[in-house]
Amino acid sequence: MEQICLILLLISKALSVGAQFNGYNCDANFHSRFPAERDISVYCGVQTITLKINFCPVLFSGYTDTDLALNGRHGDAHCRGFINNNTFPTVVLFSISLATLETCGNALVVSTAQGPNAYGNLSLVQIGNISGYIDTPDPPTIISYLPGLLYKFSCSYPLEYLVNNTQLASSAAAISVKDSNGTFVSTLSLLLYNDSSYVQQLSIPMAGLTLKTRVFAAVKATNLDRRWNVLMDYCYTTASGNPNDELRYDLFFSCDKDPQTTVFENGKSQMGRFAFEVFRFVKHKNQKMSTVFLHCVTKLCRADDCPMLMPICGSRKKRDVSERTESNSASGNAIITAGPIITRSDDTPMNNSQLAQLNSPVFRMNTVTSALISGIIILGVMSLCFFILSLTLLKGKRAPPTILSGACNPAFN
């Protein structure tokens, strides 16, 4: 009788365990516990950071895979992981691309440490540390009987590696355009350049760009004939690579334009061009460097119709094109991104006048000229000292005046 009871007890436990893990690759003997530090594995790859979380303790704690998200971004589906049930134990995978360092709120902190540089020599190098966490949401109630889960991670890379692998990152958007001859697809891209010639693409030094450095941007289109032009509706910047980031700074939108931004060409050809001065986001105040991502909402318009879509500043905001009979005068909008642009916060930032002085010819004395001028000054001072000393000695050698004694001459008596 006792053996039968024991068998029934074991069967009931097996059924409860099977129901508890619900088909996932979990072992009740090892995973009937709350999560621990060993449950997260971090892989700092050359292109992406991969995070693996043991899902079985998460399930045991009363949560599902959709409850785990990066840095508290539970409302963003892009910040959640996905289940991999082909391994033992079952894991939840997260992937973070180095091209978008601050997506989903991951932090980039730059520090200086002793180490080998790009040439293998030991020197002070700058390290970029990417860190964040994965957690579960707080319940809407005052109390909860479920434990709050928190997994922290970090990866460190030489800043030179991050800059060289992300400084020219540019997204391309394929946009479909209806024409009288049918439908064709054009590709839009946003590129950054060093100067107004728009020839050499932007090169970001390892230490980052100085604040107020002028950056030139261009939106280009491919697979277009002469009937279509590029029209930039709205260009703005964010601290992360996410175009939907709530923290943003507008460069230009309709007639509103940042004072440091200049639009050279828009809606007049198959390339839109503008320039702006780089800055830092205040949220990076405790960091030596700041990341800036550039985004442009762009469309294609017929060359004849582009002027009708341009804003009229100083009058109405935009021409009314709703009454036009032609419905295919413009394409839909596409968002294209470039970055990150890494800027550094110097103790003595340069303004425009200082930058202009750097570009203007300045008279500089070489070592020989400086030595000759210093010698002439020293000789002049020494000559003046000798002259004063000579005058003092001459005054000392003069004969003293005759002093009358009190003796009487008897001849005058």
The tens digit of pLDDT for each residue in 218-251 reads 998 877 667 788 888 889 998 877 888 888 899 9
Q: In the predicted model, is pLDDT for residue 145 greater than 50?
A: yes
pLDDT for the residue 53: 94
DSSP-assigned beta bridge partners for residue 154:
131
Q: In the predicted model, is pLDDT for residue 3 greater than 60?
A: no
Rounded-to-integer distance, Cα 278 and Cα 216, Å: 10
Q: In the predicted model, is pLDDT for residue 266 greater than 80?
A: yes
Beta carbons of 106 and 94 less than 8 angstroms apart: no
Burial of 154 (0-12, 13-18, 19+ CB in 10 A): middle
Average pLDDT over residues 319-332: 47
Residues in the chain: 413
Q: In the predicted model, is pLDDT for residue 139 greater than 60?
A: yes
Is residue 377 very low, low, confident or very high in pLDDT (cuts 50, 70, 90)? Answer: confident
pLDDT for the residue 348: 41
Higher per-residue confidence, 111 vs 24: 24
pLDDT for the residue 349: 42
Q: In the predicted model, is pLDDT for residue 375 greater than 60?
A: yes
pLDDT for the residue 21: 64
For 137, residues 6+ apart whose C-beta sits below 8 A from its C-beta are 67, 69, 72, 74
Residue 58's region, left for phi above 0, alpha for psi from -120 to 50, else beta, is alpha
Task: Say whether 143 sits in a helix, a strand or coil.
Answer: coil
What percent of the chain has a predicted confidence (pLDDT) above 70?
Answer: 67
Task: Say whether 257 sits in a helix, a strand or coil.
Answer: strand
Q: Which of 178-187, 235-244, 250-259, 298-307 shows the lowest per-residue confidence on average (mean pLDDT)?
A: 178-187
pLDDT for the residue 41: 92
Which residue in the block uniquely carries the two structure tokens 């700041």?
290
Helix or strand run (H / E) with residue 152 = strand 150-158
pLDDT for the residue 289: 79
Instruction: Quote the distance between the C-alpha of residue 181 and its chain's center.
Output: 43
Higher per-residue confidence, 213 vs 300: 213
pLDDT for the residue 165: 46
Q: What is the mean pLDDT of the chain?
A: 74
- Three-point CA angle 41, 44, 50, nearest 5°: 55
Q: Which of 19-23, 344-348, 356-360 shows the lowest per-residue confidence on average (mean pLDDT)?
A: 356-360
C-alpha distance from residue 362 to each of 189, 291, 358, 370, 372 (Å):
40, 33, 8, 16, 20
Q: In the predicted model, is pLDDT for residue 141 greater than 60?
A: yes
Q: Which of 89-98, 141-150, 273-282 shows the lowest per-residue confidence on average (mean pLDDT)?
A: 141-150
pLDDT for the residue 314: 64
pLDDT for the residue 332: 66
The candidate with the shortest Cα–Cα distance to 188, out of 176, 201, 174, 168, is 174
Amino acid at 185: V
For 50, residues 6+ apart whose C-beta sits below 8 A from its C-beta are 42, 43, 93, 94, 95, 96
Rounded-to-integer distance, Cα 305 and Cα 311, Å: 13
Average pLDDT over residues 399-411: 49
Neighbours of 56 (CB within 10 A): 25
Q: In the predicted model, is pLDDT for residue 116 greater than 80?
A: no
Q: In the predicted model, is pLDDT for residue 54 greater than 90?
A: yes
Is residue 110 very low, low, confident or very high in pLDDT (cuts 50, 70, 90)? Answer: low
pLDDT for the residue 190: 87
Q: In the predicted model, is pLDDT for residue 85 greater than 60?
A: yes
pLDDT digits (tens, 9 = 90+) for 269-304: 889 999 999 998 888 777 777 888 899 988 888 788
